[in-house]
Structure 1
Amino acid sequence: MSEVRKAWSWRQAFCKSDLPGPTRAVLQALSMFMNAVGESCYPSIEDLVEYSGFSKNAVLKHVDIAKEAGWIEVSQHGFRGQRWKRQEYVARWPEHDLVAPSTSEHSVKNAEFEEKGGARGG
């Protein structure tokens, strides 16, 4: 899958997620600062306020919701002692979508596969 397609898929995925509408709107505003492949970006909170149309408090709240849900990673960007610091935002997929099936689920699926004549292996 191309990098551009991955970024587009991320945008589509959070829009179809169970996130609250304002959180999706803030993520959409955030995605406008990412390049075509969805790499990290550094917009100010004021930029996100302008692009989302929400208040500063609402933007901060919904960034936290997106972060807790696993849709973005947020870290400080800048050097110690500098007067300016920016948040770095990176698109992420929620971990619950990436977790492998549990051992018991996996065993049940293997048993079903073997019952249907599937290959047995190590």
Structure 2
Amino acid sequence: MSPVLFELLLRSTWETVLMTGASGLISLVFGLPLGLALVATDRGGIAESLWVNRALAAVINGFRSVPFIILLVALIPVTRLIVGTSIGTWAAIVPLSIAATPYYARIAEVSLREVDHG
């Protein structure tokens, strides 16, 4: 393998790890509170509010049902607003985080529901 190709491979691997780690951390920071809110506002929760629960569930289900490539294109203006560009490693983190957050919220909700109430 040529040194140029190896350097390119190494840089691309680092960018992939950065995008995965950053978007995972961001989805954890936003998804966990959403999952907690879903459990807390459901029937029998500590802050029972079915209106809030149904609204949160609808938003989460809505984002989960949108294909990623469509979400990626739809979020180009938001990405430009946040990062300043729509191309590159940092620009990819925004749609990855937004796409992963509802999935993490649902996983957190289901996991919390499995805990015994006693």
Q: TM-score, normalised by structure 2?
A: 0.28
Q: Which has the higher contact order (CA 8 A, sep 6+)?
A: 2
- Larger fraction in strand: 1
- Larger fraction in helix: 2
Q: TM-score, normalised by structure 1?
A: 0.27
